[in-house]
A and B are shown apart, each in its own frame.
Chain A
């Protein structure tokens, strides 16, 4: 590394020993050697390889790291912080009332909670791993050994530190040599003279750290003091736009308004629909039409179509027989939905006598709590449904006189 500045009593030519470094050619011999060093009882030693070697943990005796627990904790913290933050900001400190929804509802908080969980866990994972590995460090005695440069290329190493209680310069060397090392070197420990960061760099780091507080200080000052100055607005050119806004006056038009009203009698393309009977279910006097408009053919075919459409569009709520007991209604009853309005039974007297036009209108635009189906069901099908409802109503009131003579005998 950079400059050699001798400090105090350390003599650069007579450095203390860092330890021994043994080189191996392949994975298998490295692992075997590790087992031997492990069994010899050393503790301050390490293997170095260009890639993670499978099974080396057991060969060295590395216990599983507890980092995963830490990362889990960080993730849980992220979730908690996110949920509390959202509650505090939107429901407590500045309640946000949006379309009468509850101030705080968990589902809306899930995305941010998830993201912060991942963010906290990932940041902790990376920085804790580096921290536990004592990185970054700008110096390591092993870097002084020339062979060691290949520890990141294609060679494998074991380094035993002199600090180890069992270390003995000759016996440790013998051990390493007996493990099939191709070379064993003694590595000097120059950390006393080379490990400290250069002074200018230290000053720079401290200075930039302190400088980081300046913007924060300015923001804090602005936050805690009052000012009569208008707020900073870098580019006001968007504040004055050459256009008429909806509610602004406009001298160009006689009525002085910039928003133009519809021209009387405007009809969208294809929406003229003048025939009141067919499109709106009204007769000439604007009363509900009784019977069917002339375009609708009262026939078995229309009736069948009506039944099919009724079963698709109406029966989920009203039931196939029209008693208001479709699957949706039954499910709602099961759930004891307090605000649920039961679909009307179509077999009530006022509905039996209701004009066809009114029924048509109910389908088109809905009624009270029932939504309209005009957007989904074309007029011809709506009339077919009305026809089928009439048949349904009749069927539930049938008397024996309705049954043809030939069949009557079979009853009872």
Chain B
């Protein structure tokens, strides 16, 4: 990034009740914000680290593709899925990725409705992460169907059997929920990008750039009449997306909760899944934002305060998840159903106890570290906690899926699930796909919502005194 921008860390996490906390730091004006963000896609020379990361990601994505090709040829038998565990890693990975894909729209929509101005620095970033996570998520049920050339049977289209899909099935609700979520999130993201793409278009020097950014910015001129409709619709979209986010993971949880299987059949699943999704989504945003802001020198836009706010949300949702874990056990005891009782006892002390306790330590215990301000506001420490959270959340889905299935009602059909090398390669490969898309985003698109950040600056409301405060803010940093 250009050296014009100071990239040292300023601590803006302390609260002064007499005035509103600064959202962005370093005495920015509109132009420096443009410079900082639009400067990234304008870099002449692509950073070597970026190339390194990109090559790695593309290779993993290639491995992903090859594995899928082999899967289509050979069938789902290449996975560890077998009786009694018919739902193995693919579903675990699906739920894991969909869960991660919740923070973006949550930050955009819910925080927008709640007028949490701090969202503007991170929403673009988080929304992009959402879309790429949903892409990864959609791959798994897509390749899990056994006859991958017949996916249209899931949609309400006339097919050769003259049959329609069964609308009582939560798996079908899932098709609609995740499909709608993916479509709406992508459009919402693009809609927010239009004015910023116009900014890059207007600064473009080369013909190709002018053309490419010109096409995608749709001829945006920043007209007040356009902004008027644009903002109105943005508000409505946010209001629509908020219940949408909540619905998606609720519906995903129905896949389990409506099945009459001890360990799945519980009414707490929808809120528990939603809290878990927000938890893992925010953890992923922090995991990605910390290196990205250091890499591109965006410390003044994505400030420590933003990160701290997210860590507080992680702490809160982590405790909700912990509450859900204990509530499941309470109900298993209180409900006095011997099968449910066995399932939960077996979950914590049976052959998968190791997975259960990894989950508990990562999801319930590790976020407790965020009670310490030091850990909440030190980038490398929070990344470590967040990586633990992501590991824990993958294990949560593994525990729910596999431990509930591996003990059937008759001991003769008990089993122990082990993944095959293909399970592992597909999971790792999905990270390749995710990071390929994400690195392309970082390189070519405005990673921070430029127009929205500007609209939140004091100068956008006709105030000019903010420079004085800025000096103080900078002076107090230790």
Q: How far is the CA of A214 from the CA of B25 in the complex (A)?
A: 55
Closest 9 pairs (CB-CB, A-B): A154-B30, A89-B164, A136-B218, A376-B336, A137-B219, A111-B173, A51-B455, A47-B224, A149-B202
B contact residues around A101 at 8 Å (CB): 168
Please give the residue numbers on chain B whose beta carbons come within 8 Å of chain A beta carbons, in ascending order.
29-31, 34, 72-75, 77, 146-147, 149, 156, 158, 160, 162-168, 170, 172-173, 176-177, 179-180, 183-184, 187-188, 191, 195, 198-199, 201-203, 211, 214-215, 218-233, 236-237, 240-241, 243-244, 247, 251, 254, 336-339, 411, 450-452, 454-455, 459-462
Q: Check if B173 sits within 8 Å of A234, measured CB to CB.
A: no
Q: CB of A130 within 8 A of chain B?
A: yes
Main secondary structure of the interface of A (DSSP, over half): helix
Q: How far is the CA of A123 from the CA of B199 in the complex (A)?
A: 25
Q: Check if B168 sits within 8 Å of A152, measured CB to CB.
A: no
Q: How many residues of A contact B (CB 8 A)?
A: 81
Question: Are A48 and B222 also in contact (CB < 8 A) when A111-B254, A152-B199 are?
Answer: yes
Q: How far is the CA of A51 from the CA of B198 in the complex (A)?
A: 12
Q: Check if B73 sits within 8 Å of A151, measured CB to CB.
A: no
A contact residues around B180 at 8 Å (CB): 115-116, 118-119
Q: Which of A52-60, A162-170, A317-325 contacts B (4 or more CB under 8 A)?
A: A52-60
Q: Tell me which of B166, B177, B218, B450 contacts A115 (CB under 8 A).
A: B177
> 11 additional contacts, CB 8 Å, given A2-B211, A64-B232?
A1-B214, A47-B224, A49-B224, A54-B461, A86-B167, A108-B167, A109-B167, A111-B251, A142-B221, A152-B201, A238-B147
Q: Identify the interface centre among B31, B162, B184: most chain A CB within 10 Å of its CB.
A: B184
Q: Check if B156 sits within 8 Å of A89, measured CB to CB.
A: yes
* A225 CB, nearest partner CB in chain B, Å: 12
Q: CB of A138 within 8 A of chain B?
A: yes
Q: CB of A205 within 8 A of chain B?
A: no
Q: Tell me which of A150, A153, A375 contacts B338 (CB under 8 A).
A: A375
* A25 CB, nearest partner CB in chain B, Å: 11
B contact residues around A68 at 8 Å (CB): 232, 236
Question: Are A138 and B202 also in contact (CB < 8 A) when A68-B236, A122-B184, A126-B187 are?
Answer: no
- Which residue of B has the minimal Cβ distance to A119? B180
A contact residues around B166 at 8 Å (CB): 90, 96, 98
A contact residues around B211 at 8 Å (CB): 2
Q: CB of A398 within 8 A of chain B?
A: no
A-B contact pairs, 13 of them (CB 8 A): A46-B225, A51-B455, A52-B224, A62-B224, A98-B166, A108-B168, A112-B176, A133-B226, A136-B219, A151-B222, A154-B31, A223-B158, A237-B73
Q: How far is the CA of A101 from the CA of B167 in the complex (A)?
A: 13
* A408 CB, nearest partner CB in chain B, Å: 43
* A244 CB, nearest partner CB in chain B, Å: 13
A contact residues around B244 at 8 Å (CB): 115, 118
A contact residues around B224 at 8 Å (CB): 34, 46-49, 52-53, 56-57, 60, 62
Contact with B along A49-82 (1 / 0, CB 8 A): 1111110110010101101100100010000000
Q: CB of A132 within 8 A of chain B?
A: yes
* A105 CB, nearest partner CB in chain B, Å: 8
Question: Are A376 and B167 also in contact (CB < 8 A) when A26-B459, A115-B180, A154-B34 are?
Answer: no
Question: Are A65 and B229 also in contact (CB < 8 A) when A115-B176, A126-B191, A135-B220 are?
Answer: yes
Q: Check if A52 sits within 8 Å of B455, measured CB to CB.
A: yes
Q: Check if B218 sits within 8 Å of A119, measured CB to CB.
A: no
